[in-house]
Structure 1
Amino acid sequence: MTLHGGALCVLAAVMLAAVSSASVVRMENLTPSERVWQSRARDAEAGNGTNSEPGLTVGDPPQCRKHACPPTRVLADRGSYKEVYFPVAPYAKSRVEGKSLVPAVLDLYKRLRGYITGDNKKKQELPMTLPVILRMDLGDGGMFNPKNFTMFFYVDPSVKSPPAPNNDDIDVLDVNSYTLYIRTFSGYPVTYGDWMKELLQLAADVEADGEPYSKDYYYFASYDPPTQLTGRINEVQLLKPHKFSSGP
């Protein structure tokens, strides 16, 4: 089997550009539901780990104290991984097919980075958020050589009306609630194999617990720039099928 050496270094490099050039959008005239997101962003900045919506956690990992992260609720902590619920939230996403990992990541990030830095119908700059999420869709290439990729940027809660993208390959939408099994690990994953080692361990642990998960795709999430050598947070994620995901 062939591993993509250095491929996820590209994802880490993406984070360097993302974090270093994040901008701020003014918050005003929010609806009641949008005030929940505003409150969450302020709590995250303060690092107090609270939220206006009961049960949703903030500031974990600590990188989310500086940049907005999606709201979550931990449904179960099983030691080696957590079962985490995500409520409905807005995301910008883009997909490529038929490419290998490195060119796919570069292409997807360029599109989404362009969108949040002003390449949209309003020419509006949006704050960068965390994490950068990459979904691999399994196809003919199999788990170790995926050819279809989707990247997601969570839309900062301060953006009350996300602008329409200029690029037709970008979608901005509210993603329905979902539940993930998430394995968090530290260190500096360099190769695709480093990430797959953690993903396969997550799959083994989830199966050992008798929990169902989708075998059609999986996710990597990165929170840190490549210049950060310590305190790094990385995640591998598997999706719990919706029919088994009752939420909070």
Structure 2
Amino acid sequence: MEAKSELLLGLLVVFGIAVTAQDVASQTQRPSFCGTNDCPSYQLLKKYENFEHRHYEETRWVVTPLVQDVFGIEMMKSFRRLFKYITGMNSEGQTINMTVPVAIDVPLESSSVSSTMSFFVPHEVENPPTPTDPEIHLKKSPEFSAYVRQFGGYALGFMYEKHAKALAEDLKALGLQFDETYYVRAGYNDPFTLFNRHNEVWYIAK
């Protein structure tokens, strides 16, 4: 995909009570909803009525701060920093394929967690180049479990917030423990995908 298309892809991506549960025995899988893009693999631990419990592999991310604002201007700035990194603005001048999801950590009220935007580092890049922008850093995330709610359509910020609230309510109703200081917005699709769009909100399981 050409650079302009990748940039447009990312900008649209970021704007944006169970009564029974089924235990699922499965191998770590690469999700079909990632399309042709690389993305984190996970094992599905349990499927509830409205959400899933997943165990993710160790992952690496390139991360930048995100200032929350009403019009999304700061979000565009954060995306551009990450996009410049994967298109060669790094210590090796290396071009890295676009991946999914574009992940945004959203701190909740009275939380000390800072808001960030992250790109997943693809599996094929064994030694990610060092960022040259001081506002970007590489992060290795150890294996983790997450509760994930999925929804479709072109997702805006208020839609992620709505689904995150619904997920938190379901988790509390079931007595499931999770990190309540923030949630993750995860967007997977380019702007040209009109149907079967895929969006997620994550809470990290305790």
For the aligned pair, the TM-score class normalised by the smaller chain equals 0.7 to 0.9
Distance (Å, rounded) in 2 between the aligned partners of 1:177 and 1:186: 27
- Percent identity between the two aligned chains: 26
What number of residue pairs does the alignment pair up?
187
Greater CA deviation, 70-79 or 221-230?
A: 221-230
Distance (Å, rounded) in 1 between the aligned partners of 2:35 and 2:48: 25
Q: Secondary structure at the match of 2:164?
A: helix
Match in the other structure for 1:187 = 153
Tell whether the 8 Å contact from 1:182 to 1:238 is kept in structure 2 after alignment: yes
Tell whether the 8 Å contact from 2:31 to 2:41 is kept in structure 1 after alignment: no
Tell whether the 8 Å contact from 1:115 to 1:165 is kept in structure 2 after alignment: yes
Distance (Å, rounded) in 2 between the aligned partners of 1:85 and 1:92: 21
Tell whether the 8 Å contact from 1:129 to 1:153 is kept in structure 2 after alignment: yes
Distance (Å, rounded) in 2 between the aligned partners of 1:100 and 1:233: 24
Q: Secondary structure at the match of 2:50?
A: coil
Distance (Å, rounded) in 1 between the aligned partners of 2:205 and 2:77: 28
TM-superposed CA distance for 1:229, in Å, is 2.1
**Is 2:170 aligned against 1:205?**
yes
Larger helix share, 1 or 2: 1
Distance (Å, rounded) in 1 between the aligned partners of 2:8 and 2:57: 24
Match in the other structure for 2:137 = 171
Larger strand share, 1 or 2: 2
Tell me the amino acid that sits aligned with residue 56 of structure 1. Answer: T
TM-superposed CA distance for 1:224, in Å, is 1.1
* Structure 1 residue corresponding to 2:73, chosen from 103, 110, 116: 103
Tell me the amino acid that sits aligned with residue 16 of structure 1. Answer: L
Distance (Å, rounded) in 2 between the aligned partners of 1:209 and 1:161: 41
Larger-gyration structure (1/2): 1
Tell whether the 8 Å contact from 1:218 to 1:239 is kept in structure 2 after alignment: yes
TM-score (norm: length of structure 1):
0.69
TM-score (norm: length of structure 2):
0.82
Runs of 4+ with >4 A deviation = none
- Cα 1:70/1:109, change in 2 over 3 Å: same
Match in the other structure for 2:63 = 93
Tell me the amino acid that sits aligned with residue 27 of structure 2. Answer: G
Contiguous gaps of at least 5 residues in structure 2? 1-5, 13-25
- Cα 1:229/1:76, change in 2 over 3 Å: same
Contiguous gaps of at least 5 residues in structure 1? 1-12, 20-53, 242-248
CA RMSD of aligned residues (A): 2.4
